[in-house]
Amino acid sequence: MQAETNYPLVSIIILNYNGESCLSNCLSSVLETRYSNFEVILVDNASADSSLEMAQEAFGADSRLRFVKNKVNLGFSGGNNVGFSYSKGDYIVFLNNDTVVEPDWLVYLVNAMQNDPTIGLAQSMILTIDGEKIQTAGWLFSNYLIHKYQLCKDKPSSLKFHPVFEISFVCGASMIIRREIVREMGLFDPKMPFFYDDTLLSLKTWLAQKRVVTVSGSRIRHVGGATNVWNIQFTTYHLLKSNICLLFDVYSKLADLVRALLVNIFYLSTNSMFFLKRKNIEVIRGNIQGLTWGLSNFRYLWQNRLNHWKKTKISPEKLKEKFVRVNLSVSFYLMPSKLGNDCFAFEVGKYENALTKA
């Protein structure tokens, strides 16, 4: 590990909602970070528990920590936008409240950014909370953005990786971005409170002609979903909304967009029949809600697409190449979802092998 280079100020934004069971562990580990120049902005998203009061009592004397309380829950996107408005750092870190960081996690992230100006957005290596397995080393998309895959999920945490490697998009549990990219491209979309956050930030970074990577030396442990109370229908609905937005953004050429939308609609239709047979009505309802939202928000989707591409510095083909890391034939999407996912996972294995070779 290299020593800290120029000690730029880093703003660490932690969004909290009902984090009574995990927030203290997160803040304790963050405040013990071996990096000399950071601030922590804790944004409470109108929690109903006593997590904010506990944090203020336990850590309020630390001058590096600032508390912000929202009157209503603004979701991941809106809450983090509020946190950013209070930040002063050259680099902005978004960190989940159910994480525990290793002492040098931030040093690795900052050094990667400082030493390579082509990197715009980076995530930590995210482990399970016991530290024994990898939760995700980043995400990959298949073509048409139908399948997405967490790299090296459930593999041993002792696995050795290249120091830095590209991914389709980051995991929002621990990610760092340059302030100038946010200033140039904007941050999260408050209209999309869930799931269109780490993907959107990755999209904007690629559009700014900067790389999206994982820094394997930066390691954090993550519970995952510790404060979420979402049901399957809610999750399916918001995931599909996010995916529709991303399709309009990634597929800039009209012919490509139409093809991607048709393949996705066919895939959803065939898999809805599978879920209907299994009487999993919540998934079907979520998909119907998502498709209905897409139709009723077409003007928003189109305007969003135009706004993003006005600022782009790369070609549509290059963006597609950066997001689509695994290309499958259309026949893969005619298969039942489990079989299709298994085939995609096999192809991803080749990608993973290249990351872990010495």
Q: Pseudo-torsion of CA 250, 255, 261, 266, nearest 10°?
A: -140
pLDDT at residue 358 greater than cutoff 60:
no
pLDDT at residue 2 greater than cutoff 50:
no
Length of the chain: 358
pLDDT digits (tens, 9 = 90+) for 110-163: 999 999 999 999 999 999 999 999 999 999 999 999 888 999 999 999 999 999
Give the other-Cβ count within 10 Å of 72's Cβ.
Answer: 9
> Of the ranges 139-143, 281-285, 313-317, which one carries the lowest mean pLDDT score?
281-285
Predicted local distance difference test score (pLDDT) of residue 298? 96
Percent of the chain with pLDDT over 70: 93
Predicted local distance difference test score (pLDDT) of residue 342? 78
Give the other-Cβ count within 10 Å of 80's Cβ.
Answer: 25
Predicted local distance difference test score (pLDDT) of residue 274? 64
pLDDT at residue 1 greater than cutoff 80:
no
Secondary structure (3-state) at 34: coil
Query: Among the residues of 218-280, which ranges form H helices?
Result: 232-250, 254-277
pLDDT digits (tens, 9 = 90+) for 206-242: 999 999 999 999 999 999 865 555 688 899 999 999 9
Predicted local distance difference test score (pLDDT) of residue 3? 44
Q: Which residue has the tokens 């510790």?
A: 226
Q: Which of 149 and 275 is assigned the larger pLDDT?
A: 149
The answer to whether residues 170 and 212 touch, using CB atoms and an 8 Å cutoff, is yes
Mean pLDDT for the chain?
Answer: 91
> Of the ranges 174-188, 252-266, 269-283, which one carries the lowest mean pLDDT score?
269-283
The answer to whether residues 16 and 42 touch, using CB atoms and an 8 Å cutoff, is yes
Based on the number of CB atoms within 10 Å of its own CB, is 19 exposed (0-12), middle (13-18) or buried (19 or more)?
Answer: buried
Give the other-Cβ count within 10 Å of 48's Cβ.
Answer: 9
Helix (H) or strand (E) holding 28: helix 23-31
Q: Where are the domains of the chain?
A: 98-177+193-358
pLDDT digits (tens, 9 = 90+) for 27-40: 999 999 999 999 99
Helix (H) or strand (E) holding 16: strand 10-16
Helix (H) or strand (E) holding 59: helix 51-59
Predicted local distance difference test score (pLDDT) of residue 109? 98
